[in-house]
Amino acid sequence: MMRGLLKAFATLLLALTSTAVLWAQPEAVDLGLDVKWATCNLGADTPEASGEFYAWGEIATKDDYTRDGYLLFADAVTKYRERFILNRQLDAEDDVVQQRLGGGWRMPTFAETNALVQECDWAWTEQNGVPGYKVTSRKNGNSIFLPAAGYKEGGELLFAGSAGRYWTATRHPYHWQCAMDLFFSDSFHYAYFYGRYRGYPIRPVCE
């Protein structure tokens, strides 16, 4: 009970202290899909930079990404716990891209991420010495670079340089403790899911 109250207080404190000035708008790339994709990860200045890492639905970075420290698993928090619900997206207040960038930018949905996987050509490469994928539109030839930034669990950065995991705004329809993500290494790339408490980079989209 006490742990739940403390987490609820932490959630409220985070909401009150995280309404920072909006960040600079990134460049948008038209890949011929339903949305345009940013050239850089959230919090990054270049396409190959990792940017910042966030747990799903949290709007601040932290040093330790654990189940016990995940604000949306607090006993007093009931959002995103519905079972067997399709297409459950993050509310705007929990979408860190909307909170940080504004201007119509947001986290991509699972469907939009899956379209990126299915409707573009993916080539494993390096950009300025950073491994990742060049993702090229089959419709207009435009491209973006997604660095293999890894992800954070506990206080560790895992698989940087060999794999990438990027959050979508979509919760898993059955496993409420998971959210849908983009998962890749040099030998595969697909939309998948994982536990929401882990820290991932995010690639913003806009209409």
What residue segments make up the domains of the chain, in order of their start?
A: 2-206
Q: For residue range 129-185, list pLDDT tens digits in order.
A: 999 999 999 999 999 999 999 999 999 999 999 999 999 999 999 999 999 999 999
**Is the CB of residue 144 less than 8 Å from the CB of residue 132?**
no
When the pLDDT of each residue in the chain is averaged and rounded to a whole number, the result is: 92
pTM equals 0.90
Q: What is the DSSP string of 116-184?
A: HHHHEEEEEEEETTEEEEEEEETTT--EEEEE--BEEEBTEEESTTTEEEEEEEEEPSS-TTEEEEEEE
Assigned token pair, 205: 């989209």
**Is the CB of residue 202 less than 8 Å from the CB of residue 54?**
yes
Q: Does residue 125 surpass a pLDDT of 90?
A: yes
From 202, 200, 203, 96, select the one nearest 152 (Cα to Cα): 200
Contacts of 45 (CB under 8 A, 6+ apart): none
